[in-house]
Every structure is written in structure tokens, then in C-alpha cells.
Amino acid sequence: MTSEYTSSHGQTFDTTGQLTGQFGCSEPYRTTVTTARPHQDVVALVDQLLTAWLKQEGGEEPPPAGAGPGAERLRLGPRILLDRDNGPLRANRPEPDDPPAGLPTEPGHYSRRRLRTPVPHGTHQLTVTIATPVAARHTTPVADPSPGGGAGQTWVRLEAEYLAAGAGVRPAGRVPVPDLARALFALIDATDGSAAVGPLPRLVAAADVDTLIDELCDPDRSLPVVVASVPPSAPLDSWQADTVRPLMRQLTGLAVLYVLDHAALPLFNVALEYHKVYGGAVRTYLPEVDPASRSDSARHPVMPRHRIEEDVRRAAALISREPRKAAAELPLPAPLAAVPVLQLPSEAKHRPRRTPPTDTAQPTPVPARRSTTPEAGARPGAGAGAGTEATDQAERQSRADELQRIRRSLYHARRRERRLLAENDEQYAALRHVNAQVRALTEQLRAVAGPDAVDFVRLTADVLADEAAAPVNFGDLVHRFDEFPLLEFTGDQKETLALDGQFAGTGWAKLTWEGLTALQEYAAASVRGEAHGDFKQWCEHTPPGCHRFPPRKAVRGESRTVESHTKWKRERMLPVPECVDSSRRAFMGAHLRIGGGRTAPRLHYLDDCSGSGRIYVGYIGLHLTNTRTN
């Protein structure tokens, strides 16, 4: 395993316990899958793929690996090292309650391959670990607290990282998906829970929608599921080839990949009312999806179509960010946590010599030293050396186990945090409902009592401001839009949710909420005939007891240049109900500036208080095209 651990002395170790010292590391690639294939079949496939790659790169072909326990290091070329070890899994797991009841004393076996190859200014390290626990017999298995834990299947862990040659060398960014992952996962029929983990996205037809939803809600799933939609006017095949596959190329092994065809899309969105994806957007569904929870949908990020089409390569990097983060933070499942740290032999490392092919010309692997007791006839000092090796291995194993315990505790703490947040959302939804009632009654009081109610209205507004905190992101803002009874959001939620991926998303969400609050109060006054002007004037002369929005951020309309430009004007022809315009579209030039700068987000709206008695918000998103953004 190659996850890092930093000691109190500032030294950096991976989870094999190897000291990486001054190596600087870029963002590694890590993933864990399962397969129903037998252990030895998976090991044989890994060895075949590694041998084929070494031969292609001009390295020496490694000899066949030994079947028995032990470790060896092979030098297969300049700065090319292959470490191989096999053996039993540790009976004493890092978790305090392991080994679980129902597992035999001999919990299983493992095989590991670690390949180090030279790259500019450093070393590329690829580690494949295969662990197969022995399934319990005639007993009732105990649930494994690890994500996806359990016995009776083969676990495969694949890690790739870049080790810089020195402290002054700048890391090389993200480590790309290894070619081994693309080939191996297809050959072993890799799975995560009930979902297949393949190198390419799978097409979902109408008949497959229920299966996909079951996979999203599968409690044993630990990898994200990335689902792509197809625009209504786009041919399915060309959209897959030109957009979806390049977009998801860096997600192999990090997520389960799907594309909804035109028939499956509406069925999927009907079933997942609060977790929709459509119009060419792509959505990442993290584990533990709750289809019935509106607030849960904010956890699952959406990438809109326009951002994908602007720069597919950049979009691919952005969409892989969450899956890489999730993979790096996951604790190891119990079988892989039981793999001991890599212990290489202290003897001279073996490099196979080229010999004529004969039945007896096979290199002899160097076994790892596993005993701390000096054998009879051993040279003086050999026992002390073995004892030092055993102590060193125990220290490295302790560090690896401590890292595993920390990750496991963090994993369970975050799960508990999500549950508490869900409970809090339910309670907060009830509070918001009461706040809306108080706000409506306050408006009635203002209408009846007039100026005599100013002091009470101000007091009520202060209480509501304290109780109804602004949303922390745009996902929460969209879901709370019903708190404004005189405002109707007719725009595309994808454009709004995409703002959460921007640097200043939290500040923007708060400012947008302040603007909507002011619009609601203005609409209520306008319907009563007490606004005495448009929203801009309302902001300049905000009545006592009402929320103030900066007048300079309230813009009455677009410039003549924008209104006369066909394409730019079309962007601002936004959805409205048929009662407002028979074409279901209306020009929304009035807008609120969200944040500073000429390209900051905008909220476009149509004031129809004098007609339907409502304000229609047709767009909340990044600045639409004008002379500054073109």
C-alpha cells in the first residue's frame, strides 16, 4: 500500500512502512475493487500485464514468481525494480474487534507487486495488492465495518504515484490512470458492491433504469457513480464518442460510469425527483444516496453542458476531483488492511541474468528474512541483524495500522456527520415553514396597521434574520426557493448549481439570498400598491423593517448593445408561464449583480407584479455573454 503517513519527526512513510524521506509526491491514483475470479487467476493476469509492459519498454522479462510465501526484488533494467511478495494475511487485524467471529484462524492470503520505473525528475511507482480472505463455513458472518468489507471474494488494490527525486523538485500534478487499470479491470470483471467497474461508460436503456437506481442506493457501494445525460437534439453515438468518453477517461477505476440514452433519461429523472440530470449535464453520485431527501441532492455535484463543451480536457480534470478525493480518504477494507507491510530481504538484490532457455536455467528468488532467531552455524552478528529487521518491520507495521485506524475513525465520523446533517435538515425544514408563516402574517399586519406596525415589523424581521440563516451553497438555495411565495424560479437549476464549484461560491450564495429576500419584500409591497417605483428605487429607499440590498447591484436593464445583438438578446429570453407570455419566453434585462467584477454571476428576473402578481427569476448563473465576456 502506498498511502502516506508523516511521523512527528517530519519523516514521510507509505502504508507499506517504506520511508519516502525527501520524496515529494503529486496527487496519487488509488482505487479498490472486488472480483469473483480466483486469487491465482488475478495474480497471473497482473503478472502477464506487467511482463508485457516491461517487454514493450525494453526491460528484462521477470522470471515466474514462486508459489510459496516470501519476498524478492528483481532489477530488470536501469532504475527498474520489481518487488514481489506473497503470504498469509495477518490474523490480528488493526481493528480492535478483529478477527471477526465466523472467520477461521487462518484468514486468507495475499500477493503484491510493486514496480518502480524512472521518469523525468523522479520515479513512478505502481503497486497492485491482491487479498483473498477465507470464507467462513458453517457460521453466520459478522458485518465488516469497512466499506464493502467481507469474506469470500478477491480484493484488488491498485495505486500509482510519482516520487520526486528531491525536495526541490516540483511534483508533477495528478498521476494519470495507469494503463494497467484499464486492461485489468475489464479482464477480471471488477465490481464495487453490485456495480461493474469498467474502463468505459456503460449505456443505460429504459429497461436498465431500475438496476441503476438500485446501484446508486446500494449500501455496499464505496465508489462514486458518474451518470451522463445526452442533449435531446444530439445523436447518442457521436455524443458518447466526442464528449462522454474523453470526459470520463480519467475516471477509470475511480467511479462507476454510465450514459443514459434518450429513453432512459425521463424515467431516471422521474424516479429521482431531487437528484435529476439532463440536457447534456453530468452528475457525480457519491455513496449513500437518499432519493427521498431534497437536501441530500446538494451532496452530488452537477457539471453543466456548457462547461463541458467549453473545454472537455479541463472538465475531465474537474469531474475527477471528487472521486480522487473520495478514494484517497477511504479506509482499506478488512482483507487489505490485514496485508503485512512489505519486508524485502537484506541480501544483495537479485537481477536475473540472460541465459539460454533450458529446463533448469531459472533464477532463484531471494526469500525475505522472517525469523528473528539465528540459525545454527550462522555468522556472528547475524542474529542481531535479524532482530533489527524484525524491530524495524514491527515499527513500520504499527505506523501503517495507526494510519488505517485514523482513516477508519474519520470515515465513521463523516458518516455520522451526514446522518446528523440529514436530521438537522428535516428540523430546519420545519423551522423554515414556520418562518414563512410568520413572514406572511407580518406582511398582513403591515398591510392592516400601516405605520403603526413599523416597530413590530422591524423586531420580527430581526428575529427572522437570526432564525433563517442564509444558505451555505446554491444547492441549498435552489431547494429553499419556496420560502419566497411571490418569487418563482423558472430557470435551469444546472446553471445555478454549477456556481458551487466556483471559488467564491459560498459568498455568492449568501448575496443571492439577500437579493431574493429583498425582491420578495418588494413584490409584497408592489402587489399592495405600496412600492412606489421599481426594484431599483426600492433599494435606494428601503422602508424601515425591510432587508436592504445594495442599489448599485440592482440593474434596471441591459445596454442597447446587448438588446440589439441577436445572439446576446436570445440568451436573455428566459422561461415564463404562459399567463405572462404565450411564447413562454420573455426578455429579462433587469438583473442583480452577484459579486464584484464584470464577469461575476448574475440573477435575471422579470417584474410582473402589476400583472400576475409575481416576480419570475429566469436565470442564476455565470455572467451571460456581453461585450466584456465575449
**pLDDT, position 262:** 93
Do 61 and 51 contact (CB within 8 A), yes or no? yes
Position with higher pLDDT, 59 vs 378? 59
Instruction: Name residues whose C-beta falls within 8 Å of residue 113's C-beta, 6 or more positions apart in sequence.
Output: 46, 47, 50, 82, 83, 84, 127, 128
Q: Percentage of residues in the chain with pLDDT exceeding 90?
A: 34
**What CA–CA distance (Å, rounded) separates 283 from 297?**
10
Instruction: Name residues whose C-beta falls within 8 Å of residue 572's C-beta, 6 or more positions apart in sequence.
Output: 558, 562, 587, 588, 589, 604, 619, 624
Residue 102 reports pLDDT greater than 70: no
Other CB atoms within a 10 A radius of the CB of residue 29 amount to 26
**pLDDT, position 129:** 95
How high does pLDDT run on average in the chain? Answer: 78
**pLDDT, position 140:** 36
**pLDDT, position 96:** 46
**pLDDT, position 355:** 43
**pLDDT, position 553:** 92
Residues 166/172/174/177 CA torsion (nearest 10 deg): -100
**pLDDT, position 74:** 92
pLDDT tens digit string along 338-369?
898 888 776 544 444 444 444 433 444 444 33
**pLDDT, position 370:** 36
Lowest-pLDDT range, 167-181, 356-370, 524-538? 356-370
**pLDDT, position 461:** 54
Place of cell 403591515: 446
Residue 313 reports pLDDT greater than 70: yes
Residue 26: phi and psi, rounded to 5, are -80, 180
Asked if residue 451 has a cis previous peptide bond (ω within 30° of 0), the answer is no
Position with higher pLDDT, 342 vs 12? 342
Left, alpha or beta for 58 (phi > 0: left; psi -120 to 50: alpha)? left
Do 78 and 59 contact (CB within 8 A), yes or no? no
- Looking at residue 412, its amino acid is H
Place of cell 431531487: 274
For 373-403, b where at least 16 C-beta lie within 10 A, e where not — what string?
ebeeeeeeeeeeebeebbeebeebbebbbeb
Residue 8 reports pLDDT greater than 50: no
Do 234 and 280 contact (CB within 8 A), yes or no? yes
* C-alpha 560, offset from chain centre: 43
Confidence of residue 236 (pLDDT cuts 50, 70, 90): very high
Whether the model clears a pTM of 0.95, i.e. scores above it, the answer is no
Position with higher pLDDT, 466 vs 426? 426
Average pLDDT over residues 260-288: 91
Do 550 and 469 contact (CB within 8 A), yes or no? no
